[in-house]
Amino acid sequence: MKRPTKQTEDGDVENRTIMRSSDDTGVDDEKVALLDQQTLLDQNGGKKEGEGDDSWMTDTWHPANVAIPLSYFCVGFALNFLSTPLTYYMVHVLDASPAQQSVVRTMQSLPWSFKLAYGFLSDCVPIRGMRRKPYFILGWTIYLLCHLTLAALIQPSIGPLTSLLFLGTVGYMMADVMTDAIVVERSQHESDDERGTIQAQGYIIRFVGSILGSAMGAVLYNRDTWGWGLTTPQMFALNAFVPFVVLYPAMAYLRDASDLKPIPVPIQCREIWGAVQKRNIWQPMAFIFAYNVMQIPNAAWSSFLIDGLNFSDFSIGVISVTGSVVSWLGLVVYKKFFFNTNWRGIYLWTTLITMFFSVLQLVLIFQLNQKWGIPNLWFALGDDAAAEFILAIQFLPMCIMYLGLCPGGAEGTTYSMLTTFSNVAGTVAYDIGTLMTHIWDVSNDAFAAKDYSGMWKLTLLTSVLQVLPMGLLWLIPGSPAEQRELQKSDSSNFWGGFLFLAVLFGSLVWTVIESIYEIMG
């Protein structure tokens, strides 16, 4: 949320004249005090005058910050450790249909769309004077308890499995929002040229966690192939154990730099409404939403690999590990070679390449690779790895763009609002993918009977739809410099803000209703 400010020659921010132009003098005086307080803190490293050196703010491995990279690591681990076991468990043990599997994945991704609520809560309702740290600890504790409960259930059915995975994701998403908010606060002390460096480091570490999680998930859940390994309950228990050992000891040293008076809810709501009406927010976010909605996943792909091509749990795990490794490499490559590359160019060429590899899946469906002497697993590995690498390169530019949109004092709400809007679009894409499984026969029985007629049609449709948003590419800035120019614009539009919020909350409601329908049906 970019509040109206004017920069003077010596760098001070003049807010009083602008704020007092409103009729609501009482509320605005309170806001003036908050903004003046934030200005003072921004100039002194997030601390009050006289509190010492602030160089620790940009030192990722300082004791006060070390919980940040460790949290990113644990999020990456949590995202991928259960990927192989969960997929195999749903298909082989629960005999879940592609639609049911998609609903479970949707409910796992849905809490990513609640980021705005977490950020709003932490900005407005601090606990014992702290905005981030208490919610950070609470989130990881919820995650830990949910996975211990799944372990205790031994063989949870689709209903309890979906519910507890949903709540567990709510937990670590709450913690992740707090981590992002702290990073945004710290990033205020980076130069314009280096803005996003701390975040890039965090996400690289997150993908290291993804690699380790994928590898451990593939190796430890291997009874059907190797005759040894952990059971499903043991995998759930281990998933809870990792953050408890890795992250919890560092929580005691985490420093909450948000030493500010809590922002009253009316002011926060006015900030949000004012922000979403601004052209520099709703315009680029319109493209982000349209783009993510059209990246529709093929909900039947896992069932096709397992029931159609007889991929083992280990084979699925190898694909997961490979995807995590090349994703990490993609982030490293972007940071090293493409950090200052035009954002529109990155979106254009990465989308076209991703569509190419998505269409290439038809080779596997029609088994042409076998005629060329390429085993199914190797072809699937290469195709998936290339797609994950490209998507990773595409990931960071928009995260950096979000940083530039966040003002001081409401980092949690602003950043989480932007990422919520992006994530809810991805959740809607999952919902559309679920509905598309009803167009053609892509059931487990069809795959077992080697009937892939519906599969190739679904694959082609989801691949072609990916490029449609390229017609809106002009909506996003091409670089940080262009974004800063867009930021200078005071242009606002009531309907732009209205549509932003209508699409956001409408998508959330529709996702919940559609998921409940699929589970009950």
Distance between CA atoms of residues 64 and 239, nearest Å: 25
Q: How much is the pLDDT for 167?
A: 94
Residue 445 corresponds to which tokens in the numbers above? 């029985």
**SS3 of residue 66 by DSSP:** coil
Q: How much is the pLDDT for 9?
A: 35
- Residues 171, 172, 175, 180: is their CA dihedral positive or negative? negative
Same fold, 61-262 and 267-520: yes
Most confident among 29-43, 192-206, 438-452, 471-485 (mean pLDDT): 438-452
Which residues are 6's β-sheet partners?
14
Distance between CA atoms of residues 82 and 216, nearest Å: 9
- What are the structural domain ranges in the chain? 61-262, 267-520
**What share of the chain has pLDDT > 90, as a percent?**
15
Task: Tell me what the mean pLDDT of segment 71-94 comes to.
Answer: 87
CB count within 10 Å of CB 49 equals 8
Is the pLDDT at 385 greater than 80? The verdict is: no
Kind and range of the H or E run holding 6: strand 6-7
Confidence of residue 277 (pLDDT cuts 50, 70, 90): confident
Q: How much is the pLDDT for 101?
A: 82
Domain 267-520 has CATH 1.20.1250.20: yes
Condensed to tens digits (0 to 9), the pLDDT of residues 463-473 reads 899 889 998 98
CB proximity list for 31: less than 8 A, separation 6 or greater: 19, 267
Distance between CA atoms of residues 340 and 200, nearest Å: 13
Q: How much is the pLDDT for 412?
A: 56
Condensed to tens digits (0 to 9), the pLDDT of residues 115-160 reads 778 877 887 888 887 888 999 999 999 999 999 999 999 889 888 9
3-state secondary structure 285-319: HHHHHHHHHCCCCCCCHHHHHHHHCCCCHHHHHHH
Is the pLDDT at 33 greater than 50? The verdict is: no
Residue 405 corresponds to which tokens in the numbers above? 């949109």
Question: Domain 61-262 adopts which CATH fold?
Answer: Growth Hormone; Chain: A; (1.20.1250)
Residue 415 corresponds to which tokens in the numbers above? 């950043």
Q: How much is the pLDDT for 492?
A: 82
Condensed to tens digits (0 to 9), the pLDDT of residues 442-464 reads 888 888 888 899 999 999 998 89
pLDDT, mean over the chain: 78
Is the pLDDT at 5 greater than 70? The verdict is: no
Report if pTM > 0.95. no
